[in-house]
Chain A
């Protein structure tokens, strides 16, 4: 059983398009996250939601908008894609509370042409 699943795994699209990446977790966790793996391979937090409420919102362009319809889902919508958005995006989840392990999805590789 996949614990944290992201779709699609690969996304190739043109500059200027709008795209979404979906994330679902079946672990019953309260908190979900989006990370971006940058060109130097660092994982950097973008957003965190706890029980559908935004709790962490890093300095990312407002073209990125997370949406959490319920606590098991956290989708990432990106408007007007730019070349610099090319990266691998990881979704993760954890039980509420900072010291808890985070469980990661397999990542979505986004390539902007």
Chain B
């Protein structure tokens, strides 16, 4: 059984705070790691896909790192804004092309 675990499950921060979440995944049979942003009543929206150990990706105030040897990825948000409030999902992609999602980290940013 492959488990993808995200922590924390929920997070409440003030506007302007920087924050980060963790995604843990199996280190074997790794092919890619996806991050998605999922706003309430909308569909998940792709943020990053990372494939190489040591990858770092950035999109505006959001960035992510990848460690495939130890099986974790961090997502960072710098200077959180209320519009960043969403659930952030990571998904482990194995060699067979199957995505296994974590439960997500629910972020709430208060003005």
Number of interface residues of B (CB under 8 A): 24
- Chain A residues with CB under 8 Å of B103's CB are 40-42
A98 to B94, CA, bound (A): 8
Kindly provide the distance from the CB of B100 to the nearest chain A CB, expressed in whole angstroms: 8
Q: Are the C-beta atoms of B46 and A102 separated by less than 8 Å?
A: yes
Interface size on A, residues (CB 8 A): 23
B43 and A98: CB pair below 8 A? no
At the interface with chain B, which of A59-67, A69-77, A79-87, A103-111? A103-111
- When distances are taken between beta carbons in the complex, the residues of chain A under 8 Å from B104 are 41
Given contacts A56-B96, A99-B32, A101-B49, contact A106 B42 (CB under 8 A): yes
Main secondary structure of the interface of B (DSSP, over half): strand
Q: Is there an interface contact between A98 and B32, defined as CB atoms closer than 8 Å?
A: yes
Residues of A within 8 A of B42 (CB): 106
Within 8 A of B (CB), among A32-51: 33, 40-45, 48
Q: For B57, list chain A residues within 8 Å (CB).
A: none
Cβ B97 vs Cβ A44 within 8 A: no
Interface centre among A42, A90, A97, A105 (most CB of B within 10 A): A42
Residue of B nearest to A101 (CB): B46
